[in-house]
Amino acid sequence: MADNEPVNDLALLLTPEGRALLEEVRDTDPAQELAVATRLRREHPAELVSAALGQARLRQRAVVKFGAEDAERMFFTPNGVEQSTRASVAAYRARRFAELGVTSVADLCCGIGGDAIALARAGIRVLAVDRDPLTAAAARANAEALGLAGLIEVREADVTEVDTAGYDAVFADPARRGGRGRIFDPEAYSPPLSWAVSAARRAPRAAALKIAPGVPHEAVPEDAEAEWISDGGDVKEAVLWFGTEPGAVRATLLPGPRTLLARGLPDPDVRPPGRYLYEPDGAVIRAHLVAEAAEELDGGLLDATIAYVTSDALRPTPYATAYEITDHLPFNVKKLKALLRERGVGNLTVKKRGSAVEPEELRKKVKPQGPHAATVFLTRVAGAPAMLIGHRCE
C-alpha cells in the first residue's frame, strides 16, 4: 500500500478483528512490512492486512503532531496526517476560545478532528463537519477512541449548508491544497475565505479562521485580529479572530505561549553590525513585528529590507535567536574558506536572507573541515553583500 493511497477500509479496522490486527502491527518496521504482510495474509483477509499496515504507518507519522499516546489510538488518512493541526497549536487555540467564554463551537472543515479534540478537552461542545465521507468517519472514530464522543458530534455535510446558529463560536479551516498543490489565493480556498469570513461574522461570541501564514496583510479584514503562530521555531499557521480586538496583530510562540503585540512602531534604523545578531522567530517576521522585537533588544537592522537585527547588547528574548558575531566580511568565498580553515570549522551552519547563494552550494565550495562549529550568515549590510560569522548564544 503506497503512502498516498487512501485508507478506504476504515470500517474494517473498527471491527474487533481489525482492532486486534492494528495492535499486532503497531510497531512494524517499514523494512519488514512485506514479510509481515505475507505472514498475516495467511490468517486474515488481504484488504484488512493492507488497511492495518497502512494505518500503522500513518500512526507512526502522526506521532510528531499528536504525540505517541494519542497517535497510537487515533485513525488517520494520508491527507489528515499532512494537513491536521499540530496538537500543541490546537490546544492553545482551544484555550483562547475557552478564555473568551465559548462553550460550543461549530468546527467547519474539521478534517480528522484534531481541533475538535482539543476543543472538547477544553470542555467545549463541538459540531465537527466535513464533506468527505472517509475523513468524517475518521473524525468520528477519533472522538470515540479518545473518549470524547459525548462532546463531539461529527456530521458529514457541505459546510456551506450547515446552520451554525446554535453555537457560540465558529472555527473554520478551509482546504488550502488542490490537485496542483498549495493554493495561495484565499478566494481559491475550499470554501473561499470570503465565505468563511461571512460565517465568522455571524458567530454570536467569537470565531477563528485558520489560514496560510503567507497570507498578504492587505487580505486581513479590518474587523479581524490577525495572529501568526509558531511552534518550536517553525511557523505553523495564521489565524483570523473575530470577536476579540479588531485590527490587532500578534505573533504567538509555542511552547509558552509567548505573545508579541503590534504597537505601530516605525521601521528600526539601519546600523553597522554590532557584537550580536538576532534572528527573529518566523511568526514575528510574518506578523511584521520585527520593529517590536528590535525595540526590546535596543537593536537596529543590518539592512532596511532584511529581518536581521543587530545590537551590542545580549538580551534574553523569546522572540529571536541570538548569535555572537566574530567576523564581518564582504561576500567572498575564498576569504570565507580561508577563515574557516584557520578556525578549524567542520560543522558549518549556513543561513541566508537577501542572498542568491544556496547553502549547499556554499558548503561544497568551502569544504569545511575541523572539530569546531560556526554559523555563517549570507546577507546584506546596508545594501552590500556580506558574510557574518559567529555562533549561537546558549
Same domain, 55 and 103: no
| Domain-located, residue 377 | yes
Same domain, 285 and 352: yes
Can you count the helices (H) and strands (E) in the chain?
A: 14, 18
CATH at residue 98: 3.40.50.150
> Over the chain (394 residues), what is each successive 10-residue block's mean pLDDT?
49 91 89 89 91 93 95 93 94 98 97 97 98 95 97 96 95 80 77 93 96 91 97 95 97 96 95 97 97 96 96 95 96 95 95 94 93 96 96 92
Same domain, 129 and 216: yes
Helices 46-66 & 16-24, crossing angle to 10 degrees? Answer: 60
| Domain-located, residue 243 | yes
Taking the C-alpha atoms of residue 240 and residue 213, their distance in angstroms, rounded to an integer, is: 11
Return the closest-CA partner of residue 114 out of 76, 78, 166: 76
Domain boundary among 231, 259, 287: 259
Same domain, 223 and 328: no
pTM of the model: 0.90
Count how many domains the chain has: 3
| Domain-located, residue 267 | no
pLDDT in tens, 305-360: 999 999 999 999 999 999 999 999 999 999 999 999 999 999 999 999 999 999 99
Taking the C-alpha atoms of residue 310 and residue 297, their distance in angstroms, rounded to an integer, is: 9
Residue 160, domain extent: 84-259
Return the closest-CA partner of residue 251 out of 236, 266, 265: 236
